[in-house]
Structure 1
Amino acid sequence: MKMRPRVAAAVLSLLIGPGAADRPLAHAQEVGDRAVNPILWSDVPDLADIRVGDSYYMSSTTMLVSPGLPIMKSNDLVNWRLVGYAYDVLDDEDALALRNGRNAYGGGSWASSLRHHDGTFYVTTFSGTTGKTYIYRTKDPEAGPWEKTSFRPSLHDHSLFFEDDGRAYMVHGAGNIRLTELNSDLSGIKPGGVDRIIVPNASATAGRNIGLPAEGSQLRKIDGRYYLSLITWPRGGMRTQLTFRADSLTGPYEGRVALQDQGVAQGGLVDTPDGEWYALLFQDHGAVGRIPFLVPVTWEDGWPVMGVDGKVPAALNLPASTLGVRGIVGSDDFDRGPGDPPLPLAWQWNHNPEDEHWSLTQRPGFLRLTTGRVDADLLAARNTLTQRTFGPTSSAVVTLDVAHMNDGDVAGLAALQRRYGFVGVRATGDARSLVMVIAEADSPTEVEVAPLAQDTVFLRLECDFRGRKDTARFAYSLDGASWSEIGKPLRMTYTLPHFMGYRFALFQFATRTPGGFVDFDDFRISDRIDSPE
């Protein structure tokens, strides 16, 4: 049955407090009534953006999770809402589906490009996992459907570009930036079409001692001139934004450093209906991931000048956020009415889901996860349901019914990355135990075990990203009101093998016999934690 009203009220009061639904989650300290950076303190990297009329649209990298290639919408460049995804599943391959010992951690789909041309929206991406370039198109990015085209090879960090004569190109590559013409239907590279390097050794604009070659192409035509945004990373320095310009699409291009402050870089230019200009970029921000910053842009001698006196401002001359991250994350009681989508947009599966082994209808009002095979650990488990953590602090609480676990099953609530941690329940024969596990050394270690003599337990995970603290704490409750910490704090670490910020994750996996199941209820997120500064 669903949670008793008294217990549900206690959990909600603990999590969000009075009036919390009316305030933005994870909104940085306000400066009067002005918006502040970061505009979203959560993992939204490799930004691509456009304005269509009075509306702004943004796409982002989501790597291996499904659905993927998110589309976000805003009316003011500050408040963003998820409105859809370009795909449910990128492709059906073993690595993308956690099959046959393969995985796509650090892979999947990478940086995207977003365009609006002749009444059609286009969003594109590429994948080293599949070796393909993907183009999705629709008339309505909120309702879809998205039509898919894919071709080989995988064009790295490309930018889709339509010239005034209708010809289509992709600008792509790292170090040497290349212009490649596409077929008129975008089905692939045009035989005999333009295919040439337009910016050789683009990294040299930032100096000789370069670690990350210039990449992250975003190309725009503004007032008849071509502007190419790139990023590079000098050794011992920081992620750096570059701008190149040319009077012809094929060049020659001249370049300069556009911004070198706080590592805020990679993204594109966007203008407002009133003629103001901004760059939507991101910053590597530790375990929470890569978070978006909005940087004002002025024009001098035909060049976009980013920042205020070369710095990224803390406050913006835009109204303060009323939404925070509530547009991209969300609580879920798993109750579904007629016509409701199966899962809110905030949720994404770790790799492609196995649909026959999860359900919201077998026990209405609950998320049921059923094991379909035996796995060694959390990173191998299929049907792990995730959404972003966020800063400066965030927490998640969920109710778990473990009455139907099989011997050897493990289920719970995790902080998911390569060096993960979780609080959960392990079944041993007919007995149940609460467990806290961490994988700080890339292999899971059971830190604490406590007996569990009931079928329902409440689990809590708190994340503290203040001052790059990057700490997660775990707790459980037997009544939804009184909590006990378990195990030890997890030092969260952003690892390149996963290349994603930490995520809240609901999971179950079998270590001995598949077929057991658990039911999750009342997943609640908050920007409040009990941990001290």
Structure 2
Amino acid sequence: MTPAKRLNLLLLAICSVFATISLNAEKATNPFIWADVPDVAVIRVDDTYYMSSTTMHMAPGVPIMRSKDLVNWKLLGYAYDTLADNEALRLETERSAYGRGSWASSLRYHDGIFYVSTFSATSGRTHIYKTDDIEACEWEEISFEPSMHDHSLVFDDDGKVYFLFGGGNLRLTELEPDLSGIKEGGFDEVVIEHAEKVATDNAMLHAEGTQVLKKDGMYYVMNICWPQGGMRTQIVHRSKSIKGPYEGRMVLQDKGVAQGCLIDTPEGDWYAVLFQDNGAVGRSPWLVPVKWEDGWPVLGEDGKAPIVLDIEDTEDGLSNIVASDEFDRKPGAELPLAWQWNHNPVNDKWSIGERKGHLRLETLRVDDDVLHARNMLTQRTFGPISSAETKLDVSKMKDGDTAGLIALQRHFGYVGVKQEDGERSIVMVRAQEDEPEVLATIPLKKKSVFFKIECDFRDRADKAYFFYSLDGKSWNRIGEPLQMRYTLPHFMGYRFGLFNWASEQVGGQVDFDFYRIGDRLSK
């Protein structure tokens, strides 16, 4: 074969490969993460995007993600292990941090340093975390009073640093240069009054969710509001000075897609990264194309947030945002990033590797219900369909203990094992309303049992189904489906959770052999 023929064959092969890639590539769709990733803040450093989000009462908290294309994201870590140590975050007595913890964050890159800041009514403080290596996610914390609601961190060109924050009336407050607190005698004034007025005179929710961008010498302030009887609406104000005066307008009112920030690509394209209330799965992020006209951002296509994006998506799945786990690590090894504890954990009452290949949860106090169980280990549910499966060894339970797998929200459902008078039973419990009901009880003679929960989020069906198996192969549906509902008292999409709680005495143990996720429903 001549060199020319070899070259032609090589070129044909290369063209074939690229043609195959092109044919297999699909257009990205919204939501670009079908899971609970609300209050998104995004920055770009060179050709890499970073995003922070809200997980409130979970620990660790403020997830940090990375992407190269704005639609496929990898979880890098968290800004903190625990936000604070107080009664609410320890789930003590009737106190809890459900629906609170830390809220919407601001993400910045300035002079080689990354900053992510958040605020909390639970701690009563504003928290700023900084690092020179966001990939390592090792953060140094600064915190101070008060808690500054829905703030956006602004490093101005003159070297001054501000928070623009609040609800309705948006206040600009100058910080100390080292971000250690509010600067005494510094600028501190309302710069946008009744920001929601550009969209409505009758707001059910005043303007909040501030995100600031400076472009071409102009400051742009992104906010949401909620007109009475309407939907979450995106508004923007602009000014040549961070101190104002500002003029504003409504820029998107479609499908409730709103709250977030503006971001550009290395190629010069612009997008808004927003989110939508997506039923029981939670608040899911959307990507909306942006054009600029007369110095204003114009969001969407003909005023609509598109489902299909003009971005090729060659990846599959949710990366490491959710993950199966065989618990096959040595003692002391870190949990995969997909895991978060429901409130602050008690680290000497759980282990991986104490029994090889198992997660052990030990009860540590007597509680009234599963929602106050310490050391509940959780992951997000995800759409359109998701399932979680586990195997549980119950041989070291004590009377009054209940352990198993839960679909966690205020209106929860779980399948597990309960021990009473030395006898164990498989139970299915559902809190369809405020009070939990035991819908099924089956005697259990074996020392181990398998559990599974399947969630159907298609077309907002929001149904959860519960199963048990004695051999891991033949599954039996138990109890009744749970009609999942997103509630503000928890302010979070449903989560799968592994739990063990005591109603009579402490010290009982259970061992989880694995946690496996899936994306299909049983036939």
Q: TM-score, normalised by structure 2?
A: 0.94
Looking at structure 2, the residues matched to 511 and 454 of structure 1 have their Cα atoms a distance apart, in angstroms, of 22
The whole-number CA distance in structure 1 between the counterparts of 2:442 and 2:137 is: 48
Which of 65, 69, 74 is the matching residue for 1:76? Answer: 69
What do residues 190-230 of structure 1 show as CA deviations (whole Å, max 9, x unaligned)?
Answer: 00101011110001111111100000000011111100000
| Partner residue of 1:295 out of 285, 288, 298 | 288
Distance 2:342 2:314 in 1: 30
CA distance in 2, matches of 1:515, 1:34: 52
Counterparts of 1:486-497 in structure 2 under 5 Å? 486-497=478-489
- Please tell me the residue identity of whatever aligns with 1:279: A
Name the residue aligned to 2:80. Answer: 87
Q: What corresponds to 1:114 in structure 2?
A: 107
1:439 counterpart letter in structure 2: A
Distance in 2 between residues matched to 1:61 and 1:205, nearest whole Å: 27
1:327 aligns with 2:320: yes
Please say if 1:526 is aligned against 2:504. Answer: no
Structure 1 CA distance for aligned equivalents of residues 190 and 140 of structure 2 = 30
Q: What SS does structure 1 have at the residue aligned with 2:134? A: coil
Verify the 8 A CA contact 1:79 1:321 in the aligned structure 2: no
Aligned to 2:415: 423
Say whether 1:215 aligns with 2:208: yes
Q: Aligned to 1:455, which of 444, 447, 458?
A: 447
Query: Any gaps of 5 or more consecutive residues in structure 2?
Result: 1-22
Shift in Å, 1:101: 3.1
Change (3 A) 1:363 1:32: closer
8 Å CA contact 1:40–1:324 kept in 2: the answer is no
Share of identical aligned residues, percent? 60
The match for 1:318 among 288, 308, 311 is: 311
SS of the counterpart of 2:58?
coil
**Using the alignment, how far apart are the partners of 2:476 and 2:248 within structure 1?**
57
Matches within 5 A, 1:6-405: 33-336=26-329, 341-405=333-397
1:498-517, aligned counterparts within 5 Å?
A: 498-517=490-509
Deviation at 1:423, TM superposition (A): 0.3
Say yes or no: does 1:437 pair with 2:429.
yes
Deviation at 1:321, TM superposition (A): 4.9
1: CA distance, partners of 2:217 / 2:302: 27
Q: How far, CA to CA, are the matches of 1:53 and 1:409 in structure 2? A: 53
Provide the rounded CA distance (Å) in 2 between the counterparts of 1:491 and 1:31: 37
CA contact (8 A) 2:330 2:353 kept: no
For residues 95-125 of structure 1, the C-alpha deviation after alignment (integer angstroms, 9 at most, x for no partner) is: 0111243111111000000000000000000
- What is the one-letter code of the residue matched to 2:121? G
Alpha-carbon offset, residue 337 of structure 1? 5.3
Provide the secondary structure at the position in 2 that maps to 1:325: coil
Q: Give a deviation string over 1:225-282, Cα, whole Å, max 9, x none.
A: 1000000000111000001110111011111111100000000001000100001000
Q: 2:476 aligns with which of 484, 488, 492?
A: 484
- The secondary structure found in structure 1 opposite 2:149 is coil
- What letter corresponds to residue 357 of structure 1 in structure 2? K
Q: After superposition, give the CA deviation of every residue in 1:416-470 in whole Å (9 maximum; x if it has no partner).
A: 0001000000011221100000111112110000011101111000001111111
Unmatched segments (≥5 aa) in structure 1: 1-29
State whether residues 80 and 323 of structure 1, in contact with CA within 8 Å, keep that contact through their aligned partners in structure 2: no
Contact 2:352 2:359 in 1 (8 A): yes
Q: Distance in 1 between matches of 2:145 and 2:117?
A: 13
Alignment length (residue pairs): 501
CA distance in 2, matches of 1:341, 1:226: 45
Distance 1:196 1:435 in 2: 57
Preserved CA contact (<8 Å) 2:91 2:343: yes
Distance 1:231 1:31, change over 3 A: farther
* CA distance in structure 2 between the aligned counterparts of 1:507 and 1:117, rounded to whole angstroms: 42
Q: SS at the partner of 2:59?
A: coil
Question: How many angstroms does 1:327 deviate by?
Answer: 3.0
Larger radius of gyration: 2
Provide the C-alpha distance between the structure 2 equivalents of 1:58 and 1:329, rounded to a whole number of angstroms. Answer: 17
AA matched with 1:329: V
Higher relative contact order, structure no. (Cα contacts within 8 Å, ≥ 6 residues apart) = 1
For 2:120 and 2:475, how far apart are their aligned partners in 1? 43
Aligned AA (2:395): A
